[in-house]
Amino acid sequence: MNKTVLITGATSGLGYDFVKLFANDGYNLVLVARSTQKMEEIKQTFKNIKVTIITKDLTRVGAAKEVYEEIEKQGIFIDVLVNNAGYGLMGEFDKLDLQAQVNMIQLNVTALTELTYYFLPKMKEKNSGRILNVASTAAFQPGPLMAVYYATKAYVLSFSEALVEELYNHSITVTTLCPGATKTNFGSVASVEGTKMFSRAMSSESVAKEGYIGLLKGKRVIITGNFNKMGAISAKFLPRSLAAKVAKYVAGEK
């Protein structure tokens, strides 16, 4: 019997690359995104597996619970949960739209937390499951000009690593994927494509593949790319004030 993976933000970027990787390995898919049309197109692409579509905007309060209830109603067990959906914004905190930043927290933090909360008990019952939470190298230091985004990703990393220890006696893995700049539509949404941080952007396919392989191996944290690994390690040893200055520098234009 095929295992089932739930992927949020499934219609583009890393989400769609994860879709292809799991589908090629025979997983049934539960796709969660805002665009029904794009998910229907994906469903037509992978006719040899079961594809379930759930149209939800996870920036809306209560949407994560609705996703869980729909899956429960259909009697689907989620073997793998991929909390991929998220976005960022570039600019000074008090000059960016407040609601857009609150929505970012709702998506990057609250929806991820709620989905993990709802699906984890069934995994515990079966003593089987995998969770992949997509964070960022932004998780390792403060991020001036992307203050809320960096803070949300620091939460994802801390939350996920804590769960690893809580689940030590269960056959459930929690993996945090920490990519650096990646060539997806994130760059255009966040308005960071012209910054120094994007000068070494990795392809979405390569990031997703590293994440997928690491997830199946049960790795705790995956930092993609040697340059990003060096940056994350360096951030651990720098004073927080200096790490923030470096982050602000790379957020500047090329």
> pLDDT tens across 22-54, in order?
999 999 999 999 999 999 999 999 999 999 999
Q: pLDDT value at position 100?
A: 97
Q: pLDDT value at position 197?
A: 55
> pLDDT tens across 97-112, in order?
999 999 999 999 999 9
Cα 141 from chain centroid?
Answer: 18
Q: Helix, strand or coil for residue 223?
A: strand
| Other Cβ atoms within 10 Å of 49 Cβ, number | 16
Q: pLDDT value at position 187?
A: 47
DSSP 199: G
Long-range contacts at 155-164 (CB < 8 A, ≥ 24 apart): 155/108, 155/109, 156/83, 156/108, 156/109, 156/112, 157/221, 159/112, 159/113, 159/133, 160/131, 160/133, 160/135, 161/220, 161/221, 163/116, 163/131, 164/220
Inter-helix orientation angle 63-73/112-126, to 10°: 30
The C-alpha atoms of residue 62 and residue 115 are separated, in whole angstroms, by 11
Is 13 a residue whose pLDDT tops 80? Answer: yes
49 half-sphere exposure, CB direction, 13 A CA radius: 25
Is 63 a residue whose pLDDT tops 70? Answer: yes
Catalytically active residues, by annotation: 149, 153
CATH of region 4-250: 3.40.50.720
The C-alpha atoms of residue 73 and residue 52 are separated, in whole angstroms, by 12
How far, CA to CA in Å, does 130 sit from each of 5, 7, 162, 188, 236?
A: 9, 12, 15, 31, 27
37 half-sphere exposure, CB direction, 13 A CA radius: 0
Query: Do the Cβ atoms of 82 and 13 come closer than 8 Å?
Result: no
